[in-house]
């Protein structure tokens, strides 16, 4: 019986190989094909806009205060109707995220009063230089869509005095 043991093991192994040969491959041909991420996935941040192109970020720096990794740096400046970036008094003149520090906890997203910063589904983050890991506002801002215009905009006096205006969200 002991003589047959190696043979039984061999047959079992070959059976596993044979079964696997006819299974559907699980390999994803990345980067040509990408698997959809889960709904709660937290990837690279995006700074959102309203449908008219105004930036949702009002430069309040609550996200920076909430960040446990000290990854966000915000500087704000005054808006005017002749040069308006966002609704309300102030906008983020500087907004940087150090992706090497970020732990993708989502606290910044939770802290934001205008839903400006959102952790999206982008996961292709690779750097060959530490400087590339600094994402400035220009890289984080989402592109203009539909009827939206680039910022700064010239707006009607008194039209966007509230920091959180009643405006349609492009995603709605």
Binding site for ligand SF4 (CB under 6 A): 57-63, 66-69, 71-72, 74, 92, 97, 102-108, 111-112, 114, 116-117
To the nearest whole angstrom, how small is the minimum distance from the Cβ of residue 14 to ligand SF4?
Answer: 49
Residue with tokens 């709660």: 40
- How many C-beta atoms lie closer than 10 Å to residue 117's C-beta? 25
For the bound state, the minimum distance from the C-beta of residue 7 to ligand SF4, rounded and expressed in Å, comes to: 57
Q: In the block, which residue shows the tokens 């002991």?
A: 2
Q: Are strands 90-98 and 134-135 parallel, antiparallel or unpaired?
A: antiparallel
Residue whose token pair is 């910022």: 151
Nearer of residues 105 and 144 to ligand SF4, judged by Cβ: 105
Which residues does 113 contact at the CB level (< 8 Å), separation at least 6? 58, 60, 62, 163, 164
Q: For ligand SF4, which is the closer residue by CB, 54 or 112?
A: 112
Q: Please say which residue, 58 or 153, places its beta carbon nearer to ligand SF4.
A: 58
Contact (Cβ atoms closer than 8 angstroms) between residue 55 and residue 151: yes
Rounded least distance, CB 4 to ligand SF4, Å = 60
Nearer to ligand SF4, 54 or 116 (CB): 116
The token pair at 150 is: 């680039």
CB of 11 to ligand SF4, least distance (A): 53
């Amino acid at each position: 019986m002991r003589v047959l043991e190696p043979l039984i093991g061999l047959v079992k192994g070959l059976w596993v190989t044979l079964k696997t040969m006819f299974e559907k491959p699980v390999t994803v041909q990345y980067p040509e094909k990408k698997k959809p991420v889960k709904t709660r996935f937290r990837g690279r941040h995006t700074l959102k806009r309203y449908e008219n192109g105004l930036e949702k970020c009002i430069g309040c720096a609550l996200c920076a205060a909430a960040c446990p990794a000290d990854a966000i740096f915000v500087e704000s400046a005054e808006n005017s109707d002749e040069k308006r970036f966002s609704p309300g008094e102030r906008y983020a003149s500087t907004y940087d995220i150090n992706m090497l520090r970020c732990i993708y906890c989502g606290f910044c997203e939770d802290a934001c009063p205008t839903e400006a910063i959102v952790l999206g589904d982008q996961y292709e983050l690779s750097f060959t230089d530490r400087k590339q890991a600094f994402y400035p506002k220009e890289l984080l801002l989402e592109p203009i869509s539909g009827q939206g215009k680039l910022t700064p905009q010239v707006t009607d006096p008194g039209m966007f005095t509230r920091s959180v205006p009643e405006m349609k969200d492009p995603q709605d």
